[in-house]
Structure 1
């Protein structure tokens, strides 16, 4: 028996065992031991999930693809720029393709391949390897698609319709019938027609294009946004209609040589 006042202290044991017996009046109840860090045990898993989400987001980088246009007969830089809604118009298109076109933006040859823009072709993320946290919600992708750019046929009908749209934007009067009537009289619908025998030709300024416009008139009444080439069908029509509007009120009022 130990001396009075000198009770023997039980030997302490480290809290590393899985269970401890608690007295319940003769029965032993096994209780799990919760360590000091038990309340934070889930943190490594949460951090891993957040890291995986961030890595997946970084991997989902848009892949950019070039959009090209193959030049065909009758094409002009202004027409191609409008068709593809090129930001900056024909001048920007020329700057981006100067190495292909050469020094004269008015001369583009059929068969050339021009870069007209870029498009997003998807992402590099692999859906099978992408991990997201259970509580993460992702908004549904938009189903709205932009309206397609208006296109025109590469013939007299298309050239007149495109010219009328440009004229409507610039406030230049004129109708399809008025333009068609004068085109057929002046050039029979040939955009490369040139008059080398009349007084204008003798003076060194031959009439050119669908509506037989001389160089000084074309320069004075050229409509911004169209080609600087007088043989360009749309540029020729709009410049001629702009001139006719200033002198006669409208191309519709022109019924003979003007």
Structure 2
């Protein structure tokens, strides 16, 4: 307390000074009240604390409302920041989930493509294996004919069937026996063909020009070859007589 200039008397505060002191005290009380309000308290609690201690400073302006508005504004700003942070976290989580989903989809697509490629390769390998097995069975089923008259006739008949040349086992056999007695090396050196320099040869006694003209592809070009001789003669007989079965004498 300041000493008075007049000894023994105390200086009294004028009206303006009193109001200033009252204002400062009220502001201090208001600040103390705000510091005691819990963080989660709403604007209503803060408003009640402020209205409980109205403050008027020297110029007479109501400062309590200004302080209350500032606190409400700060609270609103804090809520906005919290909401913005939550929104950012949600956006980041959504982006992360989207990236993970895309990576999963890509991995699944790659796995599916790999599985399809493996299945296609397996199918191709299986088809090749089946083809090879079929070829092997075909080779295994190919008949092996005996190297004798019966075998030659049967092999010739198989070729004739493939080429569409008519004839039967009986028709071939009877003409072979009459012409050469089953001797594939038989040759006629005394008939008119022999005199003309083109003797008849082989199982069915075919001359060279006839053999060459009616030769069946796939057989040896040799008059003495049993199968080639039979098929060429049967081809000739089919052209001239309809079938070797229709030949009952020299032809």
TM-score (norm 1): 0.45
Structure number with greater Rg is 2
TM-score (norm 2): 0.46
Higher relative CO (CA 8 A, sep ≥ 6), structure 1 or 2? 1
